[in-house]
Amino acid sequence: MKFFVDTAEIDAIAELNELGMVDGVTTNPSLILKSGRNILEVTKEICDLVEGPVSAEVVSLKADEMITEGRKLAEIAPNVTVKVPLTWDGLKACKVLSGEGKMVNVTLCFSANQALIAAKAGATFISPFIGRLDDVNLDGMELIADIREIYDNYGFETQILAASIRTVNHVSDAAKIGADVMTAPPAVIRKLAEHPLTDKGLAAFVADWEKTGQTIL
């Protein structure tokens, strides 16, 4: 499974990238707002930092305007992935932009039918939102499984990018189902290394080592 980092914070991306935990980055208007940076400047900085796809989202609602914005974003760097919403206009933009050889991430997916038509429109990535489905008492993992089955049935090359990931269980569950990519905030990725038994075991080892009175260095 590829790991994308869902943030526009350069320092957090750099830290994880040094550990080999960054296969790509996803941003959205809310994350750009949180960063306090200009979208073109921060996207360029992220693209220079990581080798993988960097999703930058259009903000218009009409297809023609999305296409214009998408082309502008794609000029930033070769690894920019233009992010469009899963609306009819978004699908029109996806078809045009993907036809021009640009990577396209179709976001805000909440049904298997939406994922199907996004693949038909040439999406590079489809972003089903797990956490937001869980919020309304639906099972986000069922959607991941349904999309995986449909894509495998027909050989679609669109990659499933599990999004709106909020817990470490979301990560492992999506991996077991076969999501190609997951995107999560830096805090969730860091938590993947945590376990109370690891902490307990390490504390015991440290206490016993101190009793030996030895040093390695």
User: Annotated catalytic sites, by residue?
Assistant: 83
Q: Which of 118, 124, 132, 123 is nearest to 164 (CA)?
A: 132
Yes or no: say if 22 and 28 are a contact pair by the CB < 8 Å rule: no
CA-CA distance, 25 to 51, in Å (whole number)? 10
Q: What's the chain's Rg over C-alpha atoms?
A: 20
Cβ atoms of 156 and 119 within 8 Å: the answer is yes
The rounded distance, in Å, linking the Cα atoms of 85 and 94 is 9
Which 3 state secondary structure label does DSSP give 146? helix
Closest CA to 4 of 107, 88, 85: 107
Token pair 């999004």 in the structure block, residue: 163
